[in-house]
């Protein structure tokens, strides 16, 4: 046999061997993925009215949050994460559907006697993952419609325990009998009211116990666990084990108990061998309710709080952990919004996106740190009356004329009694560069006519799509909320 034939035969053998090895390797990876159940579990912990500065890894020095801080050390911390609206129901609708809430006809905070809520035609994250074979549960505050056709069990969750709306919508509200006439606050187990709450001291503990039990019962299959805690929304309640523990009074005690709850969930994932196959997200629905002063959180160094589109109302602490997949101890400054969570989870789990149009975009590359570019050309901030209050593109955020609530420098109330806020009117548009001025102190509108022109054009296009009641434009892309039958 000639030398050339020997060389060719050797090369052919090497090629065949390599192809066979690669084929077997790919097959082995697929088999291992199937055997290990590689579709990751998803846990989302969603607190209520928590400020940007109320977590240790986001700057708090007077509240200890070792478990949330631990998630950040083992995962990714986003310093520029915002919610779609700075108020309860709208914010939850955005998280669970990937849509701007006004696209769904969900505005503001739904009240106990409201007859509308999330439409049955919308696809929630629970429904999306349930179609992939996930077990699903929600424990905490729902606030997307007062049960009936709006029940979590009608929108993809197998189990539910908690309250149907905010924990202050009850007869003990400080304005009961004058502004409000609230019925007793019901506690639900699935679709059945099991109690009327008069004392909420043990509610965080009960929710945590439900979450831990759900993980243990569903460890053999993928699961989606949604924990929308009612705290630290006023009225503040904490169990005896955390009373007097923080250096920021009752509010700090409440945050420490919420951190404990995160720790119990993480500890259970570890003990059940699920840590490396579980995505854990921690964030909040909007900024602090500043009217309540000592019973509210801190948005420092951000401007204003809940109920406003200023950064203090919409920017939230955000931590995501997925050990062995996401980088550890990474801080990401790229802007992401809550509408992006659903499509990101769909990407990671292989779930099919909702059939109806959504607004969110997969942000996994941002979480991974492989991209520093926002997945959206721009983000839009509406509020309860379907007014477009602001548009954000990159470093720039422009506000349009609107009324917003503020304390105007007054101190918030003490011991659970609110200070009545005032309504300021923004008469002219304002522009801020958030990278240089995160506190939104220096209005640079007049110095940047090209930026103003560009952002105004983006806003006008979005108004034509989603409407703007302030400008009397009815959006063609808006859908209707569900109606009580």
The pLDDT value recorded for residue 471 is: 85
Q: What's the whole-model pTM score?
A: 0.92
The pLDDT value recorded for residue 313 is: 98
User: Residues 48, 203: contact at Cβ < 8 Å?
Assistant: no
Q: What amino acid positions are annotated as catalytic residues?
A: 88, 143
The pLDDT value recorded for residue 384 is: 79
User: Residues 316, 287: contact at Cβ < 8 Å?
Assistant: yes
Report the largest interatomic distance among the alpha carbons of the chain, rounded to a whole angstrom.
103
The C-alpha atoms of residue 162 and residue 193 are separated, in whole angstroms, by 9
The pLDDT value recorded for residue 37 is: 56
Burial of 65 (0-12, 13-18, 19+ CB in 10 A): buried
The pLDDT value recorded for residue 385 is: 80
3-state secondary structure of 319: strand
pLDDT along the chain (485 residues), means of 10: 42 40 34 54 98 96 97 98 97 98 94 96 98 98 96 98 97 92 97 96 98 97 98 98 95 98 98 97 98 96 97 98 97 98 98 98 97 95 92 97 93 92 94 98 98 98 93 90 90
The pLDDT value recorded for residue 36 is: 55
Full set of structural domains in the chain with CATH: 39-372 (3.40.720.10), 380-483 (3.30.1120)
The DSSP result for 277-315, as a single string, is GEEEEEEESS---GGGGGGS---TTSS--TTSSSHHHHE
The C-alpha atoms of residue 301 and residue 295 are separated, in whole angstroms, by 18
How many CA atoms lie less than 13 Å away from 252 in the CB half-sphere?
13
The pLDDT value recorded for residue 472 is: 87
DSSP secondary-structure letter at 133? T
pLDDT tens for each residue of 166-194? 999 999 999 899 999 999 999 999 999 99
Closest CA to 90 of 285, 227, 281, 226: 285
Burial of 305 (0-12, 13-18, 19+ CB in 10 A): buried
């Amino acid at each position: 046999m000639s030398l050339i034939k020997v060389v060719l035969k050797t090369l052919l053998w090497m090629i065949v061997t390599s192809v066979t090895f690669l084929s077997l390797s790919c097959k082995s990876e697929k088999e291992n993925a199937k055997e290990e159940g590689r579709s990751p579990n998803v846990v989302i912990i969603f607190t209520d009215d928590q400020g940007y500065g109320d977590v240790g890894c986001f700057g708090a020095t007077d509240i200890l949050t070792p478990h949330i801080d631990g998630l950040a050390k083992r995962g990714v911390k986003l310093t520029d994460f915002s919610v779609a609206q700075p108020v309860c129901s709208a914010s939850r609708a955005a998280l669970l559907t990937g849509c701007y809430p006004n696209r769904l006809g969900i505005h503001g905070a739904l009240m106990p006697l409201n007859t509308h809520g999330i439409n049955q035609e919308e696809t929630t994250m629970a429904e999306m993952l349930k179609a992939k074979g996930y077990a699903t549960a929600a424990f905490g505050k729902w606030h997307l419609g007062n049960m009936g056709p709006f029940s979590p069990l009608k929108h993809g969750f197998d189990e539910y325990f908690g309250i149907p709306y905010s924990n202050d919508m009850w007869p003990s509200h400080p304005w009961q009998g004058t502004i409000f006439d609230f019925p007793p606050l019901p506690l639900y187990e699935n679709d059945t009211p099991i109690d009327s709450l008069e004392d909420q001291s043990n509610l965080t503990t009960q929710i945590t116990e439900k979450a831990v039990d759900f993980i243990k019962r569903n460890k053999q299959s993928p699961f989606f666990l949604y924990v929308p805690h009612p705290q630290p929304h006023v009225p503040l309640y904490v169990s005896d084990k955390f009373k007097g523990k923080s250096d920021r009074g009752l509010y700090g005690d409440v945050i420490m108990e919420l951190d404990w709850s995160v720790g119990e969930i993480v500890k259970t994932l570890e003990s059940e061998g699920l840590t490396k196959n579980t995505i854990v997200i921690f964030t909040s629905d909007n900024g602090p309710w500043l009217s309540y002063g000592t019973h509210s959180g801190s948005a420092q160094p951000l401007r204003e709080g809940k109920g406003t589109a200023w950064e203090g109302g919409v920017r939230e602490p955000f931590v995501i952990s997925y050990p062995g997949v996401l980088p550890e101890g990474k801080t990401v400054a790229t802007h992401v919004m809550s509408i992006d969570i659903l499509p990101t989870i769909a990407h990671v789990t292989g779930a099919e996106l909702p059939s109806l149009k959504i607004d969110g975009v997969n942000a996994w590359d941002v979480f991974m740190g492989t991209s520093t570019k926002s997945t959206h050309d721009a983000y839009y901030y509406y509020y309860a009356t379907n007014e477009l209050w602001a548009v954000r593109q990159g470093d720039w955020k422009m506000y349009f004329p609107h009324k917003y609530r503020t304390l105007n420098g007054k101190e918030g109330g003490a011991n659970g009694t609110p200070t009545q806020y005032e309504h300021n009117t923004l008469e002219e548009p304002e522009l801020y560069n958030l990278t240089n001025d995160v506190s939104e102190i220096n209005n640079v509108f007049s110095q940047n006519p090209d930026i103003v022109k560009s952002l105004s054009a983006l806003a006008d296009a979005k108004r034509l799509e989603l409407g703007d009641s302030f400008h009397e434009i009815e959006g063609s892309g808006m859908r209707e909320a569900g109606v009580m039958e």
